[in-house]
Structure 1
Amino acid sequence: MARGFLKNIFTDKIMLLMVLPGTLWFLFFSYLPMFGTVIAFKEYRFSRDGFWASIVNSKWVGLDNFKFLFTTNDAYVITRNTLLYNAAFIVLGLILSVVMAIVLSEIVNKKLAKLYQTGMFLPYFLSWVVVGYFAFSFLSSERGMLNQVLDYFGAESVQWYSEKKYWPFILIFVYLWKAVGYNSVVYLAAIMGIDKSLYEAAMIDGASKFQQIRNITLPLLNPIITIMTLLAIGKIFYADFGLFYQVPRNSGTLYGVTNVIDTYVYQGLKTTGEIGMTTAAGLYQSVVGFVLVITSNYIVRRYNRDSALF
């Protein structure tokens, strides 16, 4: 058995070398840090003896670190914001990404399609700090472009960074502007892999372009749509820290609609310096995400085994 195992390694050495960087990345940044989750149950105090010695010498506090999230008056607000924003991102992001991928696939001029694709792909690589300053150039109360437009038409200027009612729409718009182009690439690649003879047969039968999309493209995209949605559900308790911290510029008057679990934990860490509390929050998010993925995948398997993750 050992000889056969070594023979397989030698035979597949090129493939194994290709996956080695990714394997090492997961090992050092995903699996080894799991040992640090014990901090969630301790009153962590760093000592000069090193990280592991600090963990061993720190006092056990049980579930006290988790009380920070569940006993605070803001627990409902931050949980509500995190879930509702992520639900909007998943639903709207899915719809717009699929629509954009279909539109790009239907452009006859492929050079022009590549230009459009690059233009939509570019925002994904911008830092949230840069995006935050872009947003500020539009929303600044003194020199913001939107207020200048409102003044030009005789309307009253808006104090954007003080008005809560606008920010759910602003944050959703900014997220979609940044993420849709990147996500559409996945669906575009799936569309490019569809057998063209299916469309040719549909055209011979007199199917319109809309009918081809409804009866061929969307059904064949269903497995990848399901997988991407399942992966997104696993992160529904995680919020994009840069989006909710940099774009609203950490304005205290907007906390009711911009404060999420990640930003709340960060602010708590700055105030109290309790590392155990932040570890507890991360562990809570990971466990809930794991349960949601398992549950969602089980439901999908009941209806369509081929579309499930595992």
Structure 2
Amino acid sequence: MADPDKDTNDDAGEDRDDERARPEAEEREPADRAEESDPDGDSEQPTSRRFRLRELSGPQACLSIVGCGTVAAVLVVALVFGGIRLVVGSLSDDSEDNAATVPEQSGEPIDEIEVGGLNLCDRNIPGITELSLERSDSGDSYADSAEAGSSDARRVSDECSWVVRPGGDSLDEWNFDFEYVALISDGDGADRFESAVSLHGQWVDERSSGSGVADSGEVSFGDEGQFFYSTTEGVESYSMIVRHKSAVYVIELENRVESGAQESGIDSFEQVANRIADRVNIRLDAVVPN
């Protein structure tokens, strides 16, 4: 005969076993369903899990930093040199354009020069901005044989007087006399260059024979030139006589030294005369034929 209590205990044990097995089955079901829905295991994982930065070791990090720095430096250098080449190229283009538009500074045919185009006293001497100049003559000495329509040799001449202040710390006022003759074309049987050489020699002889000449020598302006520096009876003077092509000019500077005052000295006169001669030579070189 069966024992009722034993059967009851067996049933109770089976029920407890079923209760313990049910949660484990429930935990396995989601996993089983996931495997059934994605048998290849390719389902996406959360972004925070998919993208993870890879940690670099010490040497790798060092090489990475050095590599990035090198690339950046190369790019900066390339940009700098590229900018410099661009600026230099634009300046070169501008220089070429300007060079193409600037007229050549050489002697041109005289028939292209208008009457009065070689008026140095009116047009060129006043443009010497490094000096303080004040004209003191009447300004009516300019002569150009082309004004009379002469077919003979063309000759342009003028002379003018100025008060010049040397500048700097000096408060002196000097007398400045300028005279020139430009032979533009040959006359009947006369060579303008030979005539200019002769005139230059004549003006040099006149100044060299003066009294009180303390110093003299050659100057570097024009084709040939001389200077004379004199001091006598409280008067300090300097003369520069230059021939350039077939033109001859003379620059004369005079300083009247007051009693007890110090002389200006030859160096001061040379500086002023050189500035004047430089401006005059530029104009003569541009308009007097070779």
**TM-score bracket for this pair, using the shorter chain length:** under 0.3
Larger relative helix fraction? 1
Structure of larger gyration radius: 2
TM-score, L = length of structure 1: 0.20
TM-score, L = length of structure 2: 0.21
Larger relative strand fraction? 2
